[in-house]
Structure 1
């Protein structure tokens, strides 16, 4: 990359667009997909209207779409689909079952083992499936032992992030940094080229997560700490001379402000029943079968002049409302979930699974209890729905792997394709690690084999692929390309070196890593990594030093997504399941960032003789 110490109009425009992009990526109200698409449109339209020529070569605006066919994006998408195969088949179930058994007898040792297992698996598989595997286990243990899950869920989530940092395929961030560096002429990193420094630094971090965090982390109540059933089926008997006698059903429902939902009507206290119709005339001794909360049922009884009954008789202290064979559970909307960006009504989720939604919780918002329009709320990643239904229906929901279900059981579904999916994923990693095939090709081959062996279907694949990830990767690659070709990356590298004039090399390296760590907790980690990589190479060239340690500083820093819940998608899952606050992430994540930053700075200095 040619040294650039001055700025031109195109490089200035690209830098301003980069700053605006980073601002957009922090806006919760603007979808990340929309921001990414805007960046692509701005670059392509801008360079078409105002062409730019460098070294007698004109930048073709259409080249900014090349990210859609980039090797890194192909690898990211293929690995996401392969990871979905592990989730759908329950290939990691044996690991979960062993951990679940150990937690009952050796909780302290089990926490350490959970952290190590989570980190190890995340070195080769995207950490989302790993968190989805471990969340139900840890939640079930906390419910059974009446302890707070908040002491273990955040350490587990952070352990998977640390593990993902250790190999080239551990995260999409790693794949992007390595690919961009190769595009700029650097030798490709092997899968385990930076494994050792991450393991050493990770060991210090694991001790902190294991021995320190559980002791100073305050106990947090999960969004729905009361696990008693909340919806009851009962009968409202219309006695003689009631104000509701000889009235159409529509009028009775209107008296309850439209809240009451009648399932069926038992006619004249017999076993015969009629399906509810708005024009049905309610007679004396009719029983309206309704399903609702105790408070609402008592309100209906008063408003309608009815008598509330259960199967044992009129409701009183001796015959309270009962919800036999009912179980409640929490459903978390995770990345790739079929409920993401849709509503319960649109998907008919509750009807398909014979469930009732009791409440909805969204991080940073007040928990919404049962209400008429809950089915019309657009769901987002991290939302938690409290559901109730028969035990067999909730078990079936868990087996379907359609959603992340948390309840008091640690039962894990397992299919006959599980060993096949596991060995296919093992083959993907082994073939790439041995250099037989590039990871993009080995992962694509692995996905084909999963289709061939019925481990996944095309619906699973479409659920695994994430528009947000695809667009942020493509937009980041386009921005990185624009920064590089207009000379903006070289100019920013020059500014960085000038600002640190007189500082030691290790101080510059450490400063770059810390800058990336701060950025990744505010904006997208992929954007920070792709923008930072050409700048890192420019810094190394201006210092006449090897570029590898500076590229690794960007890679390590961009993976330190510990200090905010929005920094990484699994942070949101952990936040909702554990009832954490934003300040909890700051309190635990900032010391963890300092540990990893200081350790990795020292290790890069040793490994590269800086």
Structure 2
């Protein structure tokens, strides 16, 4: 084994920054936007303070900002906007309606068709709108047929990830790998150039998700407002005219047939905690901390004549929480909502929608917010909000299309603009596939058509864009470029080849894909793809073998984000909507990762080496 020489100081610095970046990218307590921007700033400072010469020219630190205008980022953002248009206009609703009808006839066949449709659509559209469309439909099917959602939702979510890897526009990861490889002087990979191995592997994956995965999943409680299987934390305010005012805890509990459990009592004016002893007398202003199902909370509110408390605003005439027309609903937050990374107070949620948020659910469990106001909590993608408002207000929120309401409703709106949105998507893909225009230009043209036909507004466009995606792409491109120019990527490639020196080229290719598969389930798949691409090119060059299969090994490996809920944003949506646990993703996703790794390794070796 020939150990490569130690590279230059700048290359070592890039390797250190890469380790730091990957560490911060996986930290849940630091916003991904902050981590990405910090990496970009750190790179610029390093090359400003310690200049580096490349090909007799100094590396200009400001050149690391090239990612903001990179065609891959432009294309990713444009396709996110087009995908949002499909959701906004209800263009995919007919698919959902027909699926719902089919489920009543043959559940087993319906699951297979659902998986195929989900995977096929995700080859051309970002998988988030596909998941947003299918989650309430499958929840409705489970509700009406009185079946378990567990065998449906997670396989469907993973099917969208499998389908996304079959074309260059299926995921942002694919676009980044193809664009970075092209930037490094390699022939441009066409939209369907790697579809053959991807489709074969996807067929294997769909068969696994249809036959095996449902048997591996235990029964889980989904998030359905009608059946209320999810526990939430909430606070019941004791009012002056409440029947509970002046009664003991024991007397109040009797009113609920001892069904209510009081976790604690917060007493004004300073909201100090009071133990809920049976003889504790409740008085005006007390807040009872309770945890139960949504319908139970609503029942307790009525029986003890209390008011369910929302930290977003005080109870007033404009927002009565105890009106007869009030109802509860569960809302899953998605990127298009405009809430991600902000607080409910920042966006004036209650004032804007006339709806109060009374509880928050995250990562499969109710959040213990305590004294903190719900309105001050920073909202994450996949959070479930228990909201209270009139039926008309809940319906208006559905029309907003920025929220996924899990209420078993199959009556989704379909606008007259839907055919236009579908036509734009078809036109963008066709023009790019035929080589008439690059996908970056055709997708931008599609957005202009959507604006001209009023399928989208500029407000819709701003809500469709993700600051997380933009900054992680820019930071990853800058880091990948810096690693390549300083020799850091070359050094990793040399070490990788040295460690795998006993393996044939096919074995090294397979090991590279496995490394990316592990990395993508821990950190951002985009970061893994951008960092892995120059390494793959260096490895293939040193082995003197075709470069394309090694690039595809990175592309496929970075797409195998099945084994953890944090590996991909739609995994979080499925986890919360289906009541899944972390172990469920490992139980189903890890075998799928191994199956796809073996299948794709064999296919790439057979077709390219």
| Distance 1:128-1:298 versus aligned 2 partners, 3 A rule | closer
Is 1:575–1:581's contact at 8 Å kept on the other side of the alignment? Answer: yes
| Distance 1:175-1:349 versus aligned 2 partners, 3 A rule | same
| Distance 1:412-1:66 versus aligned 2 partners, 3 A rule | same
Is 1:139–1:408's contact at 8 Å kept on the other side of the alignment? Answer: yes
Q: Show the counterpart of 1:218.
A: 218
Q: Show the counterpart of 2:284.
A: 256
Is 1:165–1:198's contact at 8 Å kept on the other side of the alignment? Answer: yes
Is 1:516–1:532's contact at 8 Å kept on the other side of the alignment? Answer: yes
Is 1:220–1:578's contact at 8 Å kept on the other side of the alignment? Answer: yes
Q: Show the counterpart of 1:579.
A: 579
Classify the secondary structure of the residue corresponding to 1:152: helix
Is 2:240–2:284's contact at 8 Å kept on the other side of the alignment? Answer: no
1:269-324 CA-partner distances (Å, limit 9, x unpaired): xxxxxxxxxxxxxxxxxxxxxxx8444555568xxxxxxxxxxxxxxxxxxxx997
Q: Which runs of 5+ in 2 are unaligned?
A: 248-267, 272-281, 289-296, 307-321
1:45-92 CA-partner distances (Å, limit 9, x unpaired): 110111111332221111111111111111111111111111111111
Q: Show the counterpart of 1:82.
A: 82
For residue 158 of structure 1, report the CA deviation from its aligned partner. Answer: 0.4
| Distance 1:43-1:571 versus aligned 2 partners, 3 A rule | same
| Distance 1:144-1:327 versus aligned 2 partners, 3 A rule | farther
Could you tell which deviates more after superposition, 140-149 or 130-139?
Answer: 140-149
Is 2:335–2:381's contact at 8 Å kept on the other side of the alignment? Answer: yes
Q: Show the counterpart of 1:470.
A: 470
- Give distance in 1, aligned partners of 2:349 and 2:74: 32
Q: Show the counterpart of 2:259.
A: none
Q: Show the counterpart of 1:71.
A: 71
Q: Show the counterpart of 1:162.
A: 162
| Distance 1:296-1:411 versus aligned 2 partners, 3 A rule | closer
Alignment of 1:33-432 (within 5 A): 33-222=33-222, 227=227, 255-257=283-285, 259=287, 293-295=298-300, 299=304, 327-363=327-363, 365-367=365-367, 373-432=373-432
| Distance 1:49-1:345 versus aligned 2 partners, 3 A rule | closer
Q: Show the counterpart of 2:252.
A: none
TM-score normalised by L of structure 2: 0.84
| Distance 1:44-1:108 versus aligned 2 partners, 3 A rule | same
Q: Show the counterpart of 1:266.
A: none
For residue 28 of structure 1, report the CA deviation from its aligned partner. Answer: 0.8
Classify the secondary structure of the residue corresponding to 1:529: helix
Classify the secondary structure of the residue corresponding to 2:366: coil
| Distance 1:503-1:584 versus aligned 2 partners, 3 A rule | same
Is 1:77–1:465's contact at 8 Å kept on the other side of the alignment? Answer: yes
Is 2:24–2:30's contact at 8 Å kept on the other side of the alignment? Answer: yes
- Give distance in 1, aligned partners of 2:549 and 2:198: 13
- Give distance in 1, aligned partners of 2:53 and 2:356: 62
For residue 385 of structure 1, report the CA deviation from its aligned partner. Answer: 1.2
Q: Show the counterpart of 1:569.
A: 569
Q: Which runs of 5+ in 1 are unaligned?
A: 244-249, 261-291, 302-321
1:457 partnered with 2:457: yes
For residue 325 of structure 1, report the CA deviation from its aligned partner. Answer: 6.2
Q: Show the counterpart of 2:255.
A: none
Is 1:173–1:526's contact at 8 Å kept on the other side of the alignment? Answer: yes
Is 1:357–1:370's contact at 8 Å kept on the other side of the alignment? Answer: no
Is 2:75–2:439's contact at 8 Å kept on the other side of the alignment? Answer: yes
1:371-419 CA-partner distances (Å, limit 9, x unpaired): 9933333221111012344444323321221311111221111111111
1:528-580 CA-partner distances (Å, limit 9, x unpaired): 00000000000000011110000000000000000111000000000000111
Is 2:331–2:405's contact at 8 Å kept on the other side of the alignment? Answer: yes
| Distance 1:552-1:238 versus aligned 2 partners, 3 A rule | closer
TM-score normalised by L of structure 1: 0.84
- Give distance in 2, aligned partners of 1:323 and 1:141: 31
Is 1:256–1:300's contact at 8 Å kept on the other side of the alignment? Answer: no
- Give distance in 2, aligned partners of 1:399 and 1:418: 14
Q: How many residues align?
A: 547
For residue 502 of structure 1, report the CA deviation from its aligned partner. Answer: 2.0
| Distance 1:589-1:237 versus aligned 2 partners, 3 A rule | closer
Q: Show the counterpart of 2:7.
A: 7
Is 1:228–1:328's contact at 8 Å kept on the other side of the alignment? Answer: no
| Distance 1:389-1:369 versus aligned 2 partners, 3 A rule | farther
For residue 236 of structure 1, report the CA deviation from its aligned partner. Answer: 8.4
1:530 partnered with 2:558: no
Is 2:364–2:575's contact at 8 Å kept on the other side of the alignment? Answer: no
| Distance 1:226-1:478 versus aligned 2 partners, 3 A rule | same
Alignment of 1:485-564 (within 5 A): 485-564=485-564
For residue 586 of structure 1, report the CA deviation from its aligned partner. Answer: 0.6
For residue 508 of structure 1, report the CA deviation from its aligned partner. Answer: 0.4
Classify the secondary structure of the residue corresponding to 1:359: strand
Classify the secondary structure of the residue corresponding to 1:336: helix
| Distance 1:387-1:179 versus aligned 2 partners, 3 A rule | same
Is 1:514–1:597's contact at 8 Å kept on the other side of the alignment? Answer: yes
Q: State the structure with more CA Rg.
A: 1
Q: Show the counterpart of 1:315.
A: none
1:447 partnered with 2:475: no
| Distance 1:527-1:228 versus aligned 2 partners, 3 A rule | closer
- Give distance in 2, aligned partners of 1:372 and 1:513: 45
Could you tell which deviates more after superposition, 226-235 or 204-213?
Answer: 226-235
Could you tell which deviates more after superposition, 395-404 or 5-14?
Answer: 395-404
| Distance 1:408-1:440 versus aligned 2 partners, 3 A rule | same
- Give distance in 1, aligned partners of 2:299 and 2:394: 22
- Give distance in 2, aligned partners of 1:346 and 1:10: 42
Q: Show the counterpart of 2:258.
A: none
- Give distance in 2, aligned partners of 1:369 and 1:139: 28
For residue 6 of structure 1, report the CA deviation from its aligned partner. Answer: 4.0
